[in-house]
């Protein structure tokens, strides 16, 4: 938006592009939450029932076709933004933790690098001159690497539990042919209607 600070523009652009690279969900960059949605998309979003919804990510996750409308956001005529830095950071954390396990993978990568570096350092020391200090350096890198790998592994399990606890639908059907729409949107209603129909026959 025109009139916003350079800091906010840079951090917002960096966030969108970072999120695009660390998640498997294609989230359009530089977009807000304002959008027009088909009722099918709305029904799927209501099924997700997220406690901390990151709407722009949820809309992309359900997988329906999206298109963008480019327009120029004019400077505010009056008032100030109701989204201070604290809320921006919280929004960024909601987006990252809801759609990416990348922060947990960092521990695995750093731990693996630390172990490989420590082993390489040990081999180099054995081929040259091994002393107590060099062995201590190797031991530190090895223990740090093992610890980080353990943290990353535990984090991966916890993320799987967290992902399962959200109860997101396993499959989303975009279109059906030969089925009543009630069966998809309101399975209980369709079941009751079918039973009643048979009872009156």
Domain that holds residue 112: 102-165
Q: Are residues 81 and 152 in the same domain?
A: no
Residue 157 counted as domain residue: yes
- Both 19 and 91 in one domain: the answer is yes
Asked whether residue 89 falls in the same domain as residue 13, the answer is yes
Does 190 fall in a domain?
no
Contact 134, 175 (CB under 8 A): no
Please state the pTM of the whole predicted model: 0.64
Digit-coded pLDDT (tens) for 6-59: 888 888 888 888 888 888 888 888 777 788 888 888 888 888 877 778 888 888
Long-range CB pairs of 137-143, under 8 A, 24+ apart, other chains included: 141/114, 141/115, 141/117, 142/114, 142/115, 142/118
Span 60-115, pLDDT tens digits: 888 888 888 887 777 777 777 777 788 888 888 888 888 888 888 899 999 999 99
User: Chain-centre distance of CA 162, in angstroms?
Assistant: 12
- Check: CB of residue 58 under 8 Å from CB of residue 50: yes
């Amino acid at each position: 938006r025109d009139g916003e600070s350079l800091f906010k523009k840079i951090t917002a652009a960096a966030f969108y592009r970072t999120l695009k690279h660390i998640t498997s969900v294609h989230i359009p960059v530089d977009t807000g939450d304002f959008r027009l949605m088909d009722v099918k998309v709305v029904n799927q979003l209501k099924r997700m029932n997220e406690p901390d919804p990151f709407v722009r990510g949820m809309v992309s996750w359900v997988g329906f076709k999206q298109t963008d409308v480019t327009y120029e956001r004019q400077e505010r005529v009056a008032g100030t933004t109701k989204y201070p830095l604290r809320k921006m950071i919280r929004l960024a954390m909601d987006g990252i933790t809801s759609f990416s396990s990348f922060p947990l993978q960092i521990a695995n990568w750093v731990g693996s690098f630390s172990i490989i570096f420590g082993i390489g350092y040990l081999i180099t020391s054995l081929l040259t001159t091994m002393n107590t200090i060099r062995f201590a350096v190797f031991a530190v890198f090895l223990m740090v690497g093992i610890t980080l790998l353990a943290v990353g592994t535990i984090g991966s399990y916890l993320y799987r539990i967290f992902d399962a606890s959200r109860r997101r639908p396993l499959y989303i059907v975009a279109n059906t042919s030969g089925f009543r729409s009630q069966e998809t949107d309101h399975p209980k209603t369709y079941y009751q209607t079918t039973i009643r129909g048979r009872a009156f026959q």
